[in-house]
Amino acid sequence: MSSTFDATADAVTVAQAQVALDDLMAWVGVDGLVAALRSPGLLAAVDQHAAAVREAMVARSGAVDACSLAGYARSVIAAAYRMGRSLPEQTGQGCELDWSRAGWHLLRLVAVCAVADEAGCL
């Protein structure tokens, strides 16, 4: 009985994490990645952040998965708010901003999206 409950709970948790990552991709990921593909300097910055995200995931849980990535993204968002950094409004239609001036927190969130896509978590 316990293993059935655990499997169901795990499936729900993974599904919730995937929804959170999908929302993150719609919020900042798509626009940030498109901007990065147009700008070699921005792409290099996102790649560096993605390497840091992968390293953090492996150090924490030994693997890159949806639950770990969603939790990491929540931590980045919380840290940004604690530091008084502004984040674009969540309109459901991406975000309009100058990506060449994006702060570390936005670049890290875009990197989370890139890693999630690369790992098949979306």
- Note the Cα 84 to chain centre separation in Å: 19
Ranking 16-20, 36-40, 87-91 by mean pLDDT, the lowest is 87-91
- Reduce the DSSP state of residue 99 to 3 states and report it: helix
Give me the domain span that covers residue 9. 2-118
Q: Find the DSSP H helices in the chain.
A: 2-24, 30-38, 40-61, 66-82, 104-118
118 vs 24: CA distance, rounded Å: 15
Cβ proximity of 109 and 45 under 8 Å: no
Q: What is the mean pLDDT of residues 101-106?
A: 94
Q: Is the pLDDT of residue 5 over 50?
A: no
Domain count for the chain, please give it.
Answer: 1
Mean pLDDT value across the chain: 89
Which pLDDT score is estimated for 19?
96
Please compute Rg for the chain using Cα positions.
15
Q: What is the mean pLDDT of residues 73-99?
A: 85
45 vs 64: CA distance, rounded Å: 20
53 Cβ neighbours under 8 A, 6+ residues apart:
69, 72, 108, 111, 112, 115
Q: Is the pLDDT of residue 11 over 80?
A: no
